[in-house]
Structure 1
């Protein structure tokens, strides 16, 4: 039970101005049900979410690794747990998932270094940006920065308002811990 001043909004209390969003992504997860306390923000969030989650030049696997590293660095249990499940669906092994929270090597290491630089220094140093561009391409570098920023904001919301992990995700991770 959350003690949040802004717990996830129930179906009964869903704001009428975003009624069209409830059957989609916004009604599916507690993070967006929490954001529904600010309907205009949730509506504005949707197009960026579409790009970050569905259309990123990073591709699905790299995106999940970036999200997991961001969640780990922020200490966001909600995002970490949700994205462990999503990473598994993509075929990412538990060893690789655990590795992204440590000091991975190769491309995973490059992704982790980039996330760390953005969180620690609010920028990619030139040598890391060049390595990222050469490995992933220019657009993927932009999408990596946008992904870290996007999931940092979600982490701020989740941790500030103590948003509970969705029951189905909590049950799945309990039955198959990382």
Structure 2
């Protein structure tokens, strides 16, 4: 049972409504349910529009404007969802992962100690993501490999993406947001 009631659009204060409109416009147009309530971590963002707005904007930048290849982005996101036990993000990003070209067996392998990726970029994405999740830092040889394969800017995008989805996993857990 969610810990906060998701308001209907007509119940929103002006700042909340501006944030709501920013979230549902563009590529996230399907994030509201049939009644207009926001799904996932977006509903709790309405509790504090001053924080929720830049947070949703960061997510949009990571998801829609990052240089990280779509498959690699979804691999990292699914690894975070699994390791943080975030059922909502796992369910949402299985769909996004399939759309990015991940097979069901590749997706399932992300729940194991040895993800079934063979592309060198995807391998370094797995290594970076798991290193960040395990210890919050990257050893120097991994930074060198990641910068060589991804470039410094894309490595920054990946590090930020891992932190962003860890944050969302925390929001989803605290507010008891169910998958779907």
RMSD of aligned residue pairs (Cα, Å): 1.8
| Cα displacement (A) at 1:130 | 1.1
Report if the CA contact (8 A) 1:72-1:101 is conserved: yes
Greater CA drift, 102-111 or 28-37: 102-111
Report if the CA contact (8 A) 2:62-2:157 is conserved: yes
Report if the CA contact (8 A) 2:40-2:88 is conserved: no
**Which residue is equivalent to 2:107?**
97
Of residues 163, 166, 176, the one that matches 2:177 is 163
Cα deviation per residue 1:95-136 (whole Å; 9 max; x = unaligned)? 111122221243333222211111221111111111111111
TM-score when normalising by structure 1: 0.83
**Which residue is equivalent to 1:13?**
11
- CA spacing shift, 1:59–1:80, aligned 2, 3 Å: same
Work out the CA distance in 1 between the residues paired with 2:52 and 2:13. Answer: 11
After superposing on structure 2, the runs of 4+ consecutive aligned residues of structure 1 that deviate more than 3 Å are 105-109
- CA spacing shift, 1:33–1:80, aligned 2, 3 Å: same
Work out the CA distance in 2 between the residues paired with 1:95 and 1:57. Answer: 25
TM-score when normalising by structure 2: 0.82
Work out the CA distance in 1 between the residues paired with 2:46 and 2:107. Answer: 30
Report if the CA contact (8 A) 1:8-1:30 is conserved: no
**Which residue is equivalent to 1:169?**
none
Work out the CA distance in 2 between the residues paired with 1:144 and 1:3. Answer: 30
**Which residue is equivalent to 2:124?**
110
Q: Mind listing any 5+ residue stretches in structure 2 that lack a counterpart?
A: 25-30, 33-38
Work out the CA distance in 2 between the residues paired with 1:3 and 1:136. Answer: 39
Work out the CA distance in 2 between the residues paired with 1:78 and 1:89. Answer: 17
**Which residue is equivalent to 1:58?**
68
- CA spacing shift, 1:7–1:155, aligned 2, 3 Å: farther
